[in-house]
């Protein structure tokens, strides 16, 4: 897991943000569609998202994880056109309206980790 986080960190920082404003809006739309599944009505701050996602899994168990798996697959498909240029640390600053490198890096590294956890890494146990 530590290796996966390190690789995700490198990927998030390796590519330059070559992302148009229209692409930023499209990425925001992908994320907002994903967040609304959790009942979030706007782009949340990172800690709110993590708490909400964890609460959903805690309340719903394996069934909740299976549900999230579908949501993540939909998010992956939505973002596919914009990977890698619009899911970098620099792009996440624009997508999540922050100038904080740490917050942008959290978003940039969480996406590939969740993508793996709910696709190849998902065992449904």
Output the CA torsion 72→78→83→85 (10° steps). Answer: -130
Cα distances (angstroms) measured from residue 56 to each of 50, 65, 80, 87: 10, 9, 25, 25
pTM (2 d.p.): 0.82
pLDDT, tens digit, for every residue of 59-118? 999 999 999 999 999 999 999 999 989 989 999 999 999 999 999 999 999 999 999 998
Q: Tens digit of pLDDT for each residue in 96-112? A: 999 999 999 999 999 99
């Amino acid at each position: 897991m530590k290796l996966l986080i390190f690789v995700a960190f490198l990927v998030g920082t390796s590519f330059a943000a070559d992302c148009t404003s229209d692409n930023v809006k499209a990425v925001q739309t992908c994320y907002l569609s994903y967040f609304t599944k959790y009942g979030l009505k706007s782009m949340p701050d990172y800690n709110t998202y993590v708490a909400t996602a964890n609460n959903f899994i805690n309340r719903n168990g394996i069934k909740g994880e299976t549900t999230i798996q579908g949501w993540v697959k939909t998010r992956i498909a939505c973002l596919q056109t914009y990977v890698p240029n619009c899911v970098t640390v620099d792009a996440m600053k624009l997508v999540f309206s922050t100038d904080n490198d740490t917050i942008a890096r959290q978003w940039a590294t969480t996406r590939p980790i969740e993508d793996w956890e709910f696709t190849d890494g998902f065992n449904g146990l």
